[in-house]
Amino acid sequence: MEIRLTHHHGLGNEFLVVDTRQVVDGVALEQMSIDWVSAAISWCDSSGGRGADGLLLLGGSGSNMTMRLINADGSPAEMSGNGIRCLVQAGFMAENAEFPAVDVATDAGPRTVHLVESLDDKSVMLSVSMGLVSPLDEPEHWERLECHPDRPVRHLSLGNPHSVVGVDDVDAVDLRNLGERVPHINLEIVSPGPEPDAITMRVHERGVGLTQACGTGACAAAEAALTWGLVAQSADAVTVHMPGGDAVVQVNRDTTEAILTGPAVFTGEVMVTL
């Protein structure tokens, strides 16, 4: 049977979205027994499919949506700041309507997405209430990175695990090599600036590898930068420069709740056979 997918990206972080409410041969996909893990591995593989960092399963109705994310390697991911924006854009397209606010049930808990503006017929700017940025214990096998004890490190959760490391120059680091030593976490490296209220970040994502951007990672990096003093705590927001573009993160210093703002871009429709 043929299934319709849509392809989106948030700052170069690419996702395929399948609306599980679509009806094929008289039955909605959400009512079928489908091996979505195998599908994700096949469809996200750029050598045989469209290529993406993950597969998003869209459910719900209207301004109440559900999200399930499967990484390109078939592993589950609790949350994605770029992915949730892509999912909501796909939901807007499916409903042929743009809602000012959308409640999304994720594996990391409920998240609310607000429409900031429609940029054009293929792009929207959205802000996501990302929840609390919470401390984590040092992950297993962290010693494999051989970080100097004076180097700043933060282990944080936004529903998924992150380790943020401060460096002098993100481009001088062999991040692929380091990320492969701790594949069970999302590893971010950050350096200050170039603007006073900004940081520069690269990321190696769990279940994917090097990516152009990471929304939850940007939030973790922003919180770390504020804690370390790379950005003044009086700053209204932190601009996070990533290879795929810039996201803006606000972190409430009293509650550690983060708000992530960035675009979602529709790049095309994909028909696949299952």
Same domain, 257 and 154: yes
For residue range 8-20, list pLDDT tens digits in order.
999 999 999 999 9
Residue whose pair of structure tokens reads 């401390």 in the numeric block: 135
For residue range 69-108, list pLDDT tens digits in order.
999 999 999 999 999 999 999 999 999 999 999 999 999 9
Task: Indicate the pLDDT class of residue 273, thresholds 50, 70 and 90.
Answer: confident
Average pLDDT on 230-242 reads 95
Task: Read off the pTM.
Answer: 0.95
Task: 247-251: list long-range contacts, CB under 8 Å, 24+ apart.
Answer: 247/11, 247/81, 247/213, 247/215, 247/218, 249/218, 249/219, 249/221, 249/222, 251/133, 251/219, 251/222, 251/223, 251/226
Same domain, 179 and 266: no
Same domain, 120 and 27: yes
The predicted structure's pLDDT at residue 46: 79
Beta bridge mates, 203: 188, 211
pLDDT at 47 over 80: no
Q: What is the number of residues in the chain? A: 274
**CA angle (59, 65, 67) in 5-degree steps:** 65
The helix/strand count (H/E) of the chain reads as 4, 19
The predicted structure's pLDDT at residue 274: 84
Q: Please classify residue 121 by burial: count the beta carbons closer than 10 Å to its beta carbon, then call 0-12 exposed, 13-18 middle and 19+ buried.
A: exposed
Same domain, 201 and 246: yes
Sign of the alpha-carbon torsion through 183, 10, 125, 115: negative
Same domain, 201 and 256: yes
Domain that holds residue 175: 134-261
Same domain, 141 and 217: yes
Same domain, 269 and 243: no
Average pLDDT on 111-120 reads 97
Same domain, 114 and 154: no
Average pLDDT on 213-242 reads 97
The predicted structure's pLDDT at residue 48: 57
Extract the tokens encoding 170: 């993100």
> Which domain CATH number covers 41?
3.10.310.10
Q: Are 215 and 260 in contact (CB under 8 A)?
A: yes
What is the SS3 string spanning 55-100? EEEEEEECCEEEEEEEECCCCEECCCHHHHHHHHHHHHHHHCCCCC
Q: Give Rg (Cα) of the chain.
A: 18
- Helix (H) or strand (E) holding 101, with range, is strand 101-106
Same domain, 164 and 196: yes
Same domain, 35 and 111: yes
Pairing verdict, β 245-251 and 153-157: unpaired
For residues 247 and 192, give the distance between their C-alpha atoms in angstroms, rounded to a whole number.
15
Question: For the chain, what is the mean pLDDT?
Answer: 96
Q: How many domains does the chain have?
A: 2
Same domain, 67 and 107: yes
**Position 52: which residue type?**
A
For residue range 125-143, list pLDDT tens digits in order.
999 999 999 999 999 999 9
Same domain, 211 and 268: no
Q: Are 30 and 228 in contact (CB under 8 A)?
A: no
